[in-house]
Amino acid sequence: MSMAAHPTPIFTPEQYLELEEASETRNEYYQGQIYAMAGGSFRHAVIIGNVARHMGNALEKSPCTVMSSEVRVRVAEAGLYTYPDVIVVCGEPIFAKKTAKQNTDTLLNPTLVIEVLSPSTEAHDRGFKAAQYRSLESIQEYALVSQTEARVEVFSRQGNGWLLTEAAGLDAQCRFSSVDTTLALQDIYAKVTLNGGIVDALEKTGI
């Protein structure tokens, strides 16, 4: 006699948020399902730190705030809840109303989201997650940062469509028009091991 398959439990957004409060790991939510997020590599973490730091420095005197992957974003109320690697919100941040058991915030109005690609998540980030980001009206740009080569892809909202621009090579610069900021790829990949070796943070200055 064969055993019946156990049905996959369906969670409401409220249940997910309450479970997330007690969780020691970060989890995504999409249409009733909870998905554990994969842990990042050392290189992944260094790139995130570089992007967040240099973006934060560039926007220090602007009305924009830069946050790392500790902040949860709600793309749709019954749809995707996720933790982008780097988030920029310009103007007053708007947060979802908390339940009685919640302490952490859920951001509703990011302006720019940046994902550092990993081999295990690249297809997900390029496909499903990118489509979700495009559906959130507040997002004016999202960027995909390679972990294996000096390359950044920026998708900018243009009316009813999206414009892709690429920056490649350590001598290149990456423009984020939504926040009027340019970052050097030399800074994004500082102290990161690429095919050509470790990128020296001081190389471009000659120090």
pLDDT in tens, 116-168: 999 888 999 999 999 999 999 999 999 999 999 999 999 999 988 999 999 99
Mean pLDDT calculated for residue range 90-105 = 89
How confident is the model at residue 5, as a pLDDT? 52
Q: Which residues contact 123 (CB under 8 A, 6 or more apart)?
A: none
Q: Kindly state the average pLDDT of the residues 61-71.
A: 94
CB atoms within 10 A of CB 176: 23
The mean pLDDT of 168-190, rounded to a whole number, is 98
Class of domain 41-205: alpha beta
Q: What percent of the chain is predicted at pLDDT more than 90?
A: 74
Distance separating alpha carbons of residues 132 and 80, to the nearest angstrom: 7
Taking the C-alpha atoms of residue 141 and residue 151, their distance in angstroms, rounded to an integer, is: 16
Mean residue pLDDT across the chain: 90
In angstroms, rounded to a whole number, what is the distance separating the alpha carbons of residues 12 and 7?
Answer: 16
Burial 2-25 (b: 16+ CB within 10 A, else e): eeeeeeeeebebeebbbebeeeee
- Give residue 199's pLDDT: 67
Domain layout of the chain by residue ranges:
41-205
Q: Position 146: which residue type?
A: S
The whole-number pLDDT of residue 201 equals 46
